[in-house]
């Protein structure tokens, strides 16, 4: 018997794997490079292997036409102008996500700072609402705050990812630890699918493709890359290259041919 959660997950994943562009940066950082017109980037990349996007509710309402990929609405925000930019606050409800036609909900949770307790409460309560409505929940779980010395420490990343799963997320997005062996331990200790964040803009295309190849080899179910896709000179080609690795098990060097 198929559930609403499964139907929606099938819209944001393809054969259980994810190639997603998070485009929620407009609240935190403003109209940065590549996000001046989010709709055009979405339409440019759909049909090239993209499975889903993460956007804020106002962008969903402003789209000229429904996208052909899954849509997760992002409901936690802060701004770079704030005195506490790590303190993410809720900006919507799961009931609102249903009304918007979203296929999933996304939250950003920072672990390791003084704002952590409030965000954990948000995660738990939103997970409960998502389960009631059959709405998939993606939790962006980041080691970030005064108590975090190394955000890529495998033990820290494993703990942070596990928190997302323990609190009820269907998919956990977190940082790649830098090597296959350590990240495979993170994946094995997290009982829900893990996808990786892209972080800052990579120095080269091959760097981001190699990280993708390694993360997939470690057991990750996909990627959610923002700047490394929407700020790319040819975002649709970067999506094609990533799809080569994620869905067809290609190597980073093979995938580079999609861009070159």
Per-residue model confidence as pLDDT tens digits over 84-101: 999 999 999 999 999 999
pLDDT, tens digit, for every residue of 7-19? 999 999 999 999 9
Q: Mark whether 24 is an active-site residue.
A: yes
The pLDDT score that the predictor gives to residue 200 is 78
Number of domains comprising the chain:
1
The pLDDT score that the predictor gives to residue 204 is 95
The pLDDT score that the predictor gives to residue 132 is 97
Spot the catalytic one: 142, 214, 221, 225. Answer: 142
Q: Mark whether 173 is an active-site residue.
A: yes
Do β-strands 76-77 and 89-90 pair in parallel, antiparallel, or remain unpaired? antiparallel
Tokens in use for 215?
A: 């993360």
Do β-strands 194-197 and 222-224 pair in parallel, antiparallel, or remain unpaired? parallel
The pLDDT score that the predictor gives to residue 108 is 98
The pLDDT score that the predictor gives to residue 61 is 97
Closest listed residue to residue 231, CA positions, set 47, 70, 14, 29 = 29
Q: Mark whether 170 is an active-site residue.
A: no
| Binding-site residue positions | 24-28, 142-144, 198-199, 226-227
Structural contact between residues 84 and 115, judged by C-beta atoms closer than 8 angstroms? yes
- Does the pTM surpass 0.85? The reply is yes
Spot the catalytic one: 88, 103, 170, 173. Answer: 173
The pLDDT score that the predictor gives to residue 202 is 87
CA separation, residue 59 to residues 62, 67, 118, 260 (Å): 5, 12, 26, 32
What CA–CA distance (Å, rounded) separates 10 from 192? 15
Closest listed residue to residue 28, CA positions, set 70, 112, 84 = 84
Structural contact between residues 62 and 73, judged by C-beta atoms closer than 8 angstroms? no
User: Which residue numbers in the chain have pLDDT < 50?
Assistant: none
Structural contact between residues 126 and 94, judged by C-beta atoms closer than 8 angstroms? yes
CATH number, position 28: 3.20.20.70
Closest listed residue to residue 141, CA positions, set 120, 110, 119, 114 = 110
Sign of the torsion formed by the C-alpha atoms of 28, 238, 37 and 195: negative
What CA–CA distance (Å, rounded) separates 53 from 69? 7
Q: Which residue segment(s) compose the domain that 212 sits in?
A: 4-259
The pLDDT score that the predictor gives to residue 1 is 84
């Amino acid at each position: 018997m198929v559930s609403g959660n499964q139907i929606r997950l099938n819209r944001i994943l393809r054969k259980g794997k994810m190639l997603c562009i998070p485009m929620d940066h407009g609240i935190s950082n403003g109209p940065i490079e590549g996000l001046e017109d989010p709709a055009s980037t979405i339409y440019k990349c759909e049909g090239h292997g993209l499975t889903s996007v993460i956007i804020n509710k106002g962008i969903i309402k402003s789209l000229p036409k429904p996208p052909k990929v899954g849509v997760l609405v992002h409901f936690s925000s802060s701004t770079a102008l704030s005195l506490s930019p790590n303190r993410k606050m809720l900006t919507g409800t799961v009931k609102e996500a249903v009304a918007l036609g979203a296929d999933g909900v996304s939250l950003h949770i920072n672990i390791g700072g003084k704002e952590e307790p409030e965000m954990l409460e948000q995660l738990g309560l939103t997970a409960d609402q998502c389960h009631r409505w059959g709405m998939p929940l993606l939790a962006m779980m980041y080691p970030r705050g005064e108590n975090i010395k190394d955000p890529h420490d495998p033990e820290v990343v494993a703990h942070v990812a596990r928190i997302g799963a323990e609190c009820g997320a269907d998919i956990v997005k977190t940082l790649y630890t830098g090597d296959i062996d350590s990240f495979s331990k993170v994946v094995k200790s997290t009982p829900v699918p893990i996808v990786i964040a892209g972080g800052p803009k990579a120095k080269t295309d091959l760097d981001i493709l190699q990280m993708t190849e390694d993360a997939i080899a470690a057991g990750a179910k996909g990627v959610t890359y923002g700047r490394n896709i929407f700020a790319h000179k040819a975002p649709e080609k970067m999506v094609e290259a990533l799809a080569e690795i994620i869905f067809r098990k290609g190597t980073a060097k093979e995938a580079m041919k999609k861009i070159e």
